[in-house]
A and B are shown apart, each in its own frame.
Chain A
Amino acid sequence: MTLLRAERVTLGYGGRPVVHDVSLGVTEGGVGLIGESGSGKTTLARAFLGLLTPMSGNIYYGDQTLKKANLRAFRRDVQPVFQAEALDPRMRVGRSIAEALPRAARARVGELLEQVGLDPALAARRPHELSGGQRQRVVIARALAVGPRLLILDEPTSALDVTVQARILDLLASLETERLLITHNLAVVERLCRTSHVLFAGRVVESGPTARLLANPAHPYTRALRDAVPKLGGAPPEARGRTEAVPAATGCPFRLRCPLAVAACEQAPAPRDLGGAGGTGGMEGRRVACHRAEDVLSA
C-alpha cells in the first residue's frame, strides 16, 4: 500500500482554491512534482505534511485519512526537508538535530552527522558557521533523526552551487527512505524520481515514468518546460508560446499559452490514460489532461 496519497484533493487559502482535484500517491523509486512558481507544488507539499487541510478530498496516510490518523506515528514516518534557511540561527546544529531525538538517543547526533557526510565535530557550530551545503546536510540529518519512511523535499538543492548540489543529490539518492520531491529542476527529478507529475496552475496536467515523460512529453506544457532547459553545447533555450498569458479560468488552464490550442480546449480536458486503459506501447502508467496529446506525442 502507498504510505501517503492524495485523493481528489482541492487546496486553497482564504476559500480560494489554488490546487484543483489532484489525485496522486507516493510510489516506490521516488515521486517528483514538477512545476513553475505558482503552480501549487509547495501548497500540495504542505497538505501532504498535514500543514494544510484540504477544502475537499482527502490525504490518506496508509488506509486512514490524515484527519483520523495517529499524528505521532505520521510525524515519525513522514519528514520534511526544506531549504537550509529553516534552521534556527541561534542554535548549535547538534542541538537542532538532538531536539528531534528522544532524550535517551541524543548520543546519536554524531552518528547522524556522519550518515550525511559531515564531521561530528561540526555539531558545536551554529548555522552561519557552516557552508550552504553543510547546512543542507544538517537539515537532512535532522529529518533522518526520527527514522522516517518518507522524506518530503521542497527544492532541496536549488540554492546551492552545482558542485555542492551534485554531492547532496548523491546523498539523497543513497538514502533508503521513499521520497516526494518538489522542484522546478527537471534534471534533479530525472536523477531522483522514477515517477513524475507535472503541475500547471494547480492541476496535474501529465503523469508518468520520469524518463519517458521527459523524452517524449504528451502535454504541450511539459514539452515547453523541457525545451526551455538549456543543454550544454546545445541551441539557446527556446520559448514556446506566450509565457506571460495567465492560466485560463475556464477550460484547459494552459490554452492561452498553448501553441496548439483549438476551440475544443475551451472545454477542460479530463485526465486520461495514454494508449488506452492500462496503457500499451510504452505508454504504461502515463496519464495526460490534453485534447491534443496525440499531436504533441507525434510531433
Chain B
Amino acid sequence: MIEVRDLKVRYGGRLVADVPELDVGAGECVAIVGESGSGKSTTLLTLLGLTPDAEISGHVRVCGVDVLTASPRALREIRGARAALVMQSPQAALSPATRLGVLMRRALRLHGRDGSEQAMARAVAEVLLDPEILRRYPHEISGGQAQRFAIALAVALGAEAILADEPTSALDVTVQAEVIGVLRRLRRERGLALLMVSHDLALVSTIADRVLVMKDGAVVESGPAATVLAEPAHPYTRELLEALP
C-alpha cells in the first residue's frame, strides 16, 4: 500500500529526512518513532505530497500512485480518498461554522461517493459514534470524538491507508484506548494499512508490526516492533526506552 525507497527530503539544502526503505502492506501497522525534529512528521507529509517547498528525491508509491511525479489531480484523488491523513488535532482542521454532517456530505460527494444520511450514519457508527454527532459543530465535540470522526470520514471515502501524525497524543489515556481500539478493528476487518508517527514507544509497542526509529532526520534503526523495542541495537533506541518513566 505504501512503498518508499531512498527518500531524501531537504529544506534549503539541509537534509531533514532520509528514509532508505519503508513498506506498509494492507492490514499492517508501521510506526515511525522519534523526538521533536527527528523528521518523522516530514516523512509522513512527504508521502502525501504535502511538503511542496521541499527538495525531494527517491521513490514513493502510495496506493499504486507515484507521489513524487503524480499530477496534482492524481494526488488529490489519493489524498482525499484512498490515503487519509489523520492529524493530532483534527478539530483545528474542521471548518468551525459547518456542521459535521454537512462537512462529511461535501467530502463524500466531491469524491463521487454516497452522501446519503444512511451512509453517513453507517460511517460514524463504524467508529462507535452516535449518528446524532452529524448535527453538531466541531466545537461541540470532544477531542476523542473529533479523532474518531476524522477516521470515519476516511473510511467512508474508501481509504485503504491511514497516515496518522500523533493521532492520540492530545487525548486522555482512556479516550486514546478507544481510538486505538477503532483503528485496530479497521485494520482487522477492512485490511486498512496504518502508518503512524508517534513519540510514545509504549503505545507503539502494543499495536505496530514494524517500527522505524528516527533521529536528526535519519532512520537509526528499523525492524519488527517486538525485536526493536525488546532488544534495541542502536544506542539512541536504548536511550528512548530507558527514558520511559
- B172 touching A184, Cβ below 8 Å: yes
How many angstroms from the CA of A36 to the CA of B174 in the assembled complex? 9
Flag whether A230 is at the interface (Cβ < 8 A): yes
How many angstroms from the CA of A186 to the CA of B229 in the assembled complex? 21
B216 contact set on A, CB distance < 8 A: none
- Proximity bits, A146-176, B CB within 8 Å = 1, else 0: 0000000000000001111110010000000
A230-B202, A233-B205 known; A187 vs B245 contact (CB < 8 Å):
yes
Q: List A residues at the B interface (Cβ < 8 Å).
A: 36-37, 132, 161-166, 169, 184-188, 190-191, 224-225, 227-240, 243-244
A187 contact set on B, CB distance < 8 A: 244-245
- A232 touching B245, Cβ below 8 Å: no
Flag whether B189 is at the interface (Cβ < 8 A): no
- B206 touching A236, Cβ below 8 Å: yes
Flag whether B201 is at the interface (Cβ < 8 A): yes
How many angstroms from the CA of A166 to the CA of B242 in the assembled complex? 9
A229 contact set on B, CB distance < 8 A: 173, 202
- B36 touching A228, Cβ below 8 Å: no
- A162 touching B201, Cβ below 8 Å: yes
**Smallest distance from the beta carbon of B169 to chain A beta carbons, Å?**
10
- B245 touching A188, Cβ below 8 Å: yes
B180 contact set on A, CB distance < 8 A: 236-237
Offer 5 A-B interface pairs, CB within 8 angstroms, sorted by A.
A132-B36, A187-B244, A229-B202, A234-B205, A236-B206
Flag whether B241 is at the interface (Cβ < 8 A): yes
Flag whether B57 is at the interface (Cβ < 8 A): no
- A162 touching B199, Cβ below 8 Å: yes
Flag whether B70 is at the interface (Cβ < 8 A): no
How many angstroms from the CA of A230 to the CA of B206 in the assembled complex? 7
B207 contact set on A, CB distance < 8 A: 236
How many angstroms from the CA of A234 to the CA of B200 in the assembled complex? 13
Q: List B residues at the A interface (Cβ < 8 Å).
A: 35-36, 142-145, 172-178, 180-181, 184, 199-203, 205-207, 226, 229-230, 239-245
How many angstroms from the CA of A164 to the CA of B199 in the assembled complex? 12
How many angstroms from the CA of A244 to the CA of B242 in the assembled complex? 34
B177 contact set on A, CB distance < 8 A: 227-228, 236-239, 243
Q: Which residue of A lies closest to B144 (CB)?
A: A243
Q: Which residue of B lies closest to A39 (CB)?
A: B172
- B145 touching A225, Cβ below 8 Å: no
- B240 touching A163, Cβ below 8 Å: yes
Q: Which residue of B lies closest to A231 (CB)?
A: B202
Q: Which residue of B lies closest to A234 (CB)?
A: B206
Q: Which residue of A lies closest to B204 (CB)?
A: A230
A163-B240, A232-B202 known; A237 vs B176 contact (CB < 8 Å):
yes
- B243 touching A165, Cβ below 8 Å: yes
A-B interface, 9 closest residue pairs, ranked by CB to CB distance from nearest: A187-B245, A161-B35, A166-B243, A237-B177, A36-B172, A228-B173, A239-B177, A228-B177, A230-B203
